[in-house]
């Protein structure tokens, strides 16, 4: 019987690879090719992680981003030689702040593979230096870069409520696209005639202008201006998307074709109305509404409560001056229910109830 032993350390072993025991083989022949200092980058503003030269926004917290940045830096840099079919598992062990701008993140690599007839398995700890920096998008934001102006206008000066609602709408839509490039508001201006948002991305500005159209109706006009030429000789354009609210707004009371109606909904090109006499709803093309007479504005509606219901006649008490009003209506209302009423040109109207909206 032949005794088998490792030519390097002399240990007797039946499992030899090129005359070396598995431990010596790993030590001498298996190379984990990793730079001595593995570096990764994370944006301190938006938690973006630099991967293969591109900023990727997925992490919701800085901790998550640091962990992710280390993982991808190891994946990008690691080469294993000396074993065939290597499989590497990476486990995150923890991260520590090492300076105001740096984290040290630690990982354990579990390496498996085969050499000759033998299975080889070992583990190693590695550290990654994760540097906090600013991604391209955040650098642009910091320098007040913008590609487009989104103007919000109306036929009459915007009311406070409209300002709040529309700017909330724009901000929510920008925030929802946090993972996209240049999805930021560089600045904004409140003006007498409306609001101007300076947006990092023209694509985003166009998208939001269209979303405004879908939600509130109205019009968008686009204009461009040549502002220069970039290094590659391409023209740099600046876009203006002027969004204008429709003349009518949701909740307005109008007279159209001899009917008094409440505007229930405005969407691209069409308006849904509720006939306040018959309580029937119907739609008209937005163009047709240009001749409608505006009797009352949505913001003039007041809350009221149903205080009595007798055979198709309801009594309501309004909350502003505590006046009572009577309406003849077949609506299935109940005492205690809250409704909205609007006084316009000497008449009081019972506006759409939740069932009719
Ligand atoms: Zn050995
Ligand atoms: Zn960023």
Where along the chain do its domains lie? Answer: 35-135, 144-244, 253-350
CATH topology for 253-350? OB fold (Dihydrolipoamide Acetyltransferase, E2P) (2.40.50)
The share of the chain scoring above pLDDT 90, in percent, equals 58
- Which pLDDT band holds residue 283 (cuts at 50, 70, 90)? very high
Nearest CA among 140, 237, 151 for reference residue 182: 140
Give mean pLDDT, residues 227-256: 90
Q: How far away, in angstroms, is 88 Cα from ligand 1 center? A: 23
The share of the chain scoring above pLDDT 70, in percent, equals 100
Q: How far away, in angstroms, is 33 Cα from ligand 1 center? A: 22
pLDDT digits 0-9 by tens, 316-338: 999 888 999 999 988 888 999 99
Q: How far away, in angstroms, is 189 Cα from ligand 2 center? A: 23
What is the predicted pLDDT for the residue at 127? 94
Residue of higher predicted confidence among 213 and 31: 213
What is the predicted pLDDT for the residue at 1? 61
What is the predicted pLDDT for the residue at 324? 94
| Count of all residues that appear for the chain in the document | 357
- Which pLDDT band holds residue 262 (cuts at 50, 70, 90)? very high
Q: How far away, in angstroms, is 81 Cα from ligand 1 center? A: 19
Q: For the whole model, what pTM was predicted?
A: 0.68
Ligand (nearest to CA of 132): 2
What is the predicted pLDDT for the residue at 85? 87
Neighbours of ion ligand 1 (CB under 5 A): 6, 8-9, 11, 21, 24
Residues ≥6 apart with Cβ < 8 Å to 72: 40, 49, 51
Q: How far away, in angstroms, is 175 Cα from ligand 2 center? A: 13
- Which pLDDT band holds residue 196 (cuts at 50, 70, 90)? very high
Give mean pLDDT, residues 47-65: 93
- Separation of alpha carbons 43 and 50, rounded Å: 8
Q: How far away, in angstroms, is 176 Cα from ligand 2 center? A: 15
Q: How far away, in angstroms, is 192 Cα from ligand 2 center? A: 33
- The angle at the Cα of 249, spanning 247 to 252, to the nearest 5 degrees, equals 110
Sheet containing 148-153: give its strands across.
185-191, 194-199, 148-153, 235-244, 219-229
Give mean pLDDT, residues 146-167: 91
Asked whether residue 22 carries a pLDDT value surpassing 90, the answer given is: no
H helix or E strand, kind and range, residue 212:
helix 202-216
Asked whether residue 54 carries a pLDDT value surpassing 80, the answer given is: yes
Specify the range with the lowest mean pLDDT, choosing from 14-23, 135-144, 202-211, 332-341: 14-23
Ligand (nearest to CA of 135): 2
Mean pLDDT of the chain: 91
Give mean pLDDT, residues 189-197: 94
Q: How far away, in angstroms, is 137 Cα from ligand 2 center? A: 6
Asked whether residue 49 carries a pLDDT value surpassing 80, the answer given is: yes
What is the predicted pLDDT for the residue at 256? 92
Q: How far away, in angstroms, is 200 Cα from ligand 1 center? A: 61
Asked whether residue 268 carries a pLDDT value surpassing 80, the answer given is: no
Q: How far away, in angstroms, is 35 Cα from ligand 1 center? A: 27
What letters, b where the CB count within 10 A reaches 16 and e where it falls short, cover 276-301?
beeeebeeeebeebeebebbbbbeeb
């Amino acid at each position: 019987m032949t005794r088998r032993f490792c030519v390097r350390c002399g240990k007797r072993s039946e499992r030899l690879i090129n005359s070396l025991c598995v431990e010596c083989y790993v030590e001498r022949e298996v190379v984990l090719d990793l730079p001595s200092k593995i570096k990764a980058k994370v944006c301190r503003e938006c938690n973006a992680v630099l991967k293969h030269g591109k900023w990727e926004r997925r992490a919701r917290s800085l901790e998550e981003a640091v962990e992710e940045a280390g993982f991808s830096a190891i994946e990008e840099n690691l080469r294993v030689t000396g074993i065939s079919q290597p499989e590497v598992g990476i486990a995150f062990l923890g991260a520590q702040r090492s300076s105001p701008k740096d984290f040290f993140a630690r990982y354990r690599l579990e390496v498996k593979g085969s050499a000759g007839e033998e299975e080889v398995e070992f583990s190693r700890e590695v550290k990654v230096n994760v540097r906090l920096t600013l991604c391209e998008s955040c650098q642009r934001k910091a320098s007040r870069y913008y590609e487009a102006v989104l103007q919000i206008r109306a036929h009459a000066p915007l009311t406070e409520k409209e300002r709040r609602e529309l700017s909330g709408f724009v901000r929510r839509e920008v925030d929802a696209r946090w993972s996209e490039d240049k999805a930021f508001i560089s600045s904004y201006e409140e003006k007498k005639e409306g609001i101007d948002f300076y947006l990092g991305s023209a694509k985003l500005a166009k998208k939001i202008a269209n979303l405004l159209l879908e939600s509130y109706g109205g019009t968008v006009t686009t204009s461009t201006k040549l502002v220069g030429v970039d290094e590659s000789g391409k023209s740099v354009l600046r876009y203006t998307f002027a969004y204008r609210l429709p003349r009518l707004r949701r909740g307005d009371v109008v007279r159209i074709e001899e009917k008094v109606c409440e505007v229930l909904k405005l969407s691209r090109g069409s308006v849904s109305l509720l006939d306040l006499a018959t309580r029937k709803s119907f739609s008209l093309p937005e163009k047709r509404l240009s001749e409608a007479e505006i009797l009352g504005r949505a913001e003039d509606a007041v809350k009221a409560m149903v205080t009595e219901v007798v055979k198709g006649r309801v009594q309501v008490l309004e909350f502003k001056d505590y006046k009572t009003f009577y309406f003849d209506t077949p609506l299935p209302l109940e005492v205690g229910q809250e409704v909205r009423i609007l006084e316009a040109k000497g008449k009081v109207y019972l506006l759409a109830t939740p069932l009719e909206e």
